[in-house]
Amino acid sequence: MTLVFVYGTLKRGGSNHAWIEKQQFVAEARTAPLYRLYDLGGYPGMVRAEDGISIQGEVWSVDEEGLIKLDVLEDTDGGEYERVIVPLEGEWAERTVEGYVYLRSIEGRREVGACW
């Protein structure tokens, strides 16, 4: 099982939640202040930023089959997102948690703050 931080449409109530709903919800969490969140037209992209903020999201325990499905949704092979270790705050600071960071240009995209 892999701990995965989600921050957008995969969260409970999100439009893509069906992709993760059979996995195990663990907790709400926030990233370390290393990221910015952008509106990509119906879904967000989290990018690493020197002047970053803490992004709100959820931690899920995901099995190998679930990770494969999430990688397809996030188009990791196509280069839209990359699954990397995402440092979190608080009780999660010492845990290894992965998440998806957006790799393409954010030029002209609207920043949406800490929560999608």
In the DSSP assignment, the letter for residue 67 is H
Catalytic residue among 28, 64, 74, 80: 74
Is 74 among the catalytic positions? yes
Predicted TM-score (pTM) of this structure = 0.95
Given a contact cutoff of 8 angstroms between Cβ atoms, the answer to whether 35 and 29 are in contact is no
pLDDT digit of tens for each residue in the chain (116 aa)?
Answer: 999 999 999 999 999 999 999 999 999 999 999 999 999 999 999 999 999 999 999 999 999 999 999 999 999 999 999 999 999 999 999 999 999 999 999 999 999 999 99
Name all domains of the chain by residue range, CATH numbers in brackets: 2-111 (3.10.490.10)
Q: Distance from first CA to last CA of the chain, Å, rounded?
A: 26
